[in-house]
């Protein structure tokens, strides 16, 4: 199941289990999802019979199953989660029980475990309409015998932006300690969906006829200049028609970026005001004339998307450099900037060097996968880890089908560097 938070993925999985009378085994982001944990909890559970909460034996042959739910399966970023993607793939292949993977970012999971694309069927969950949210909220109030004005339902649904969980939480906050809500009671509701507010502010900024109006359009936004500049950068190509307009807008944005850099360097936050002038008034007034293009919904900054998706890669790189650093007698930063590319290239060409390197530095599947530029669950990584374990136990390196053909070549390791 894939989709944005609050769209009912976990609730649907639990409802499915309830409909069929299945026992649920759940792992979520608060658990360590490393290889051992997944094999112990989900792996063993997926291939064995089960018991109900009352102790009744549930036979798979009689259709009595248990549902394995791996919530937030895409969030495998920390070192404690290493090996989790490979274990998920192995569990799906070996399972005799139904398994549901719940993800917000499908790409993040399939990049770590590409086999999921063919082993599992993707079910998409979209944000709910305001009408659907209102219908559920009315049902809850009816069950609880609460008297709520229709305008409150509309305000809560609109504010949630399709997030059912957020809408229910907002309604609970408003009704806490009360039995009814009138038309004016929704005024206490904060702005949950900052993105909706930001869309309006950017539109007002581009509609502005003066520098003052453009600057004032974003004054009430809960965004720092460092955050706002990314949204403005993403919106420029949608707003301007000609290359000269876009060039002028990006030139103003570049000046704003200079002031942001000076703010961080000097820790003088008074410079933020100059950055805001350039990224709002400077960009808006880059229009040469004529009618403003009707812009579609401004997209989420692609820079943040790329950084989010590369989080696990950067974590893997940092962890690998920290392991190689003491062995190479230099800093982790130096390993990453000047040594890692060469070590990676040599590791791909020389399995023996990789085996000795892995044994000496204590590399795991994630580290080896980064060096080889492949998936941690790949056969190539599996063979490399077998060689590393042989060297670590003193058995020595034995390249497949090449025993006795080394010609007396001296074994290579990190000590050669």
Q: Does the pTM of the predicted model rise above 0.85?
A: no
pLDDT at 77: 43
Query: Would you say residue 351 has pLDDT above 80?
Result: yes
pLDDT digit string (tens) for 85-98? 677 777 777 777 78
Q: Is residue 195 very low, low, confident or very high in pLDDT (cuts 50, 70, 90)?
A: low
Mean local confidence (pLDDT), 123-147: 87
Residue 183 · residue 148 · CB < 8 Å? no
Considering the segment(s) 130-188 as one domain, its CATH architecture is Orthogonal Bundle (1.10)
Cα–Cα distance for residue pair 116/88, rounded to 1 Å: 9
Long-range Cβ pairs for the range 152-156 (8 Å, 24+): 152/181, 152/182, 152/183, 152/185, 152/186, 154/130, 155/186, 155/189, 156/186, 156/189
Residue 315 · residue 78 · CB < 8 Å? yes
Query: Would you say residue 99 has pLDDT above 50?
Result: yes
pLDDT digit string (tens) for 14-51? 898 888 878 787 766 444 555 555 555 554 554 555 55
Q: Is residue 292 very low, low, confident or very high in pLDDT (cuts 50, 70, 90)?
A: low
Q: Is residue 68 very low, low, confident or very high in pLDDT (cuts 50, 70, 90)?
A: confident
List the chain domain ranges.
Answer: 2-125, 130-188, 194-301, 311-416
Strand segments (E) across 165-310: 180-181
pLDDT at 313: 76
pLDDT digit string (tens) for 199-230? 788 888 888 888 888 888 888 776 788 889 99
- CB-count exposure of residue 137 (10 Å: 0-12, 13-18, 19+): buried
pLDDT at 207: 86
CATH superfamily of 2-125: P-loop containing nucleotide triphosphate hydrolases (3.40.50.300)
CATH for 194-301 is 1.20.272
Query: Would you say residue 309 has pLDDT above 50?
Result: yes
At how many degrees (to 10) do helices 351-361 and 340-349 cross?
A: 130
Mean pLDDT of the chain: 77
Cα–Cα distance for residue pair 364/208, rounded to 1 Å: 56
Residue 133 · residue 7 · CB < 8 Å? no
Does residue 100 or residue 177 have the better pLDDT?
100
């Amino acid at each position: 199941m894939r989709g944005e938070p609050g769209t009912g993925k976990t609730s649907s999985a639990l409802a499915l289990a309830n409909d069929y009378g299945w026992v649920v085994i759940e792992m979520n982001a608060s658990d360590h999802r490393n290889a051992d944990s997944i094999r112990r909890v989900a792996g063993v559970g997926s291939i064995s019979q089960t018991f109900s909460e009352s102790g009744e034996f549930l036979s798979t042959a009689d259709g009595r199953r248990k549902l394995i739910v791996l919530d937030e399966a895409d969030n495998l970023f920390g070192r404690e989660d290493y090996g989790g993607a490979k274990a998920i793939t192995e569990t799906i292949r070996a399972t005799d029980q139904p398994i549901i993977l719940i993800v917000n970012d499908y790409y993040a999971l399939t990049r770590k475990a590409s086999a999921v694309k063919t082993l599992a069927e993707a079910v998409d969950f979209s944000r709910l309409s305001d009408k659907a949210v209102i219908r559920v909220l009315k049902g809850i109030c009816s069950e609880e015998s609460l008297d709520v004005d229709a305008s409150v339902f509309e305000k809560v649904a609109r504010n949630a932006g399709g997030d059912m969980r957020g809408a229910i939480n907002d309604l609970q906050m408003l009704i806490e300690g009360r039995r009814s809500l009138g038309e004016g009671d929704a005024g206490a509701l904060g702005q949950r969906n900052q993105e909706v507010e930001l869309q309006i502010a950017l539109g007002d900024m581009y509609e502005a006829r003066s520098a003052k109006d453009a600057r004032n359009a974003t004054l009430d936004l809960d965004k720092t200049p460092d955050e706002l500049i990314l949204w403005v950068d993403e919106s420029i190509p949608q707003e301007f028609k000609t290359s000269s307009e876009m060039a002028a807008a990006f030139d103003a944005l570049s000046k704003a970026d200079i002031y942001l850099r000076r703010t961080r360097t000097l820790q003088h936050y008074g410079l933020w005001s100059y950055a805001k002038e350039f990224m709002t008034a400077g960009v808006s007034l880059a229009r040469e004339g004529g009618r403003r293009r009707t812009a579609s919904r401004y997209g989420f900054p692609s820079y943040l998307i790329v950084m989010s998706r590369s989080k696990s890669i950067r974590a893997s790189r940092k962890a690998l450099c920290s392991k190689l650093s003491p062995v190479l007698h230099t800093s982790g930063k130096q390993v990453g900037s000047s040594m890692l590319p060469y070590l990676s290239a040599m590791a791909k060409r020389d399995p023996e060097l990789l085996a000795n390197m892995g044994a000496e530095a204590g590399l795991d599947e994630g580290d080896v996968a980064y060096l080889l530029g492949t998936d941690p669950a790949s056969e190539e990584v599996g063979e490399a880890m077998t060689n590393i374990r042989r060297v670590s136990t003193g058995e020595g390196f034995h390249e497949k089908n090449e025993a006795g053909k080394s010609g007396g070549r001296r074994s290579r390791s990190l000590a050669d560097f």
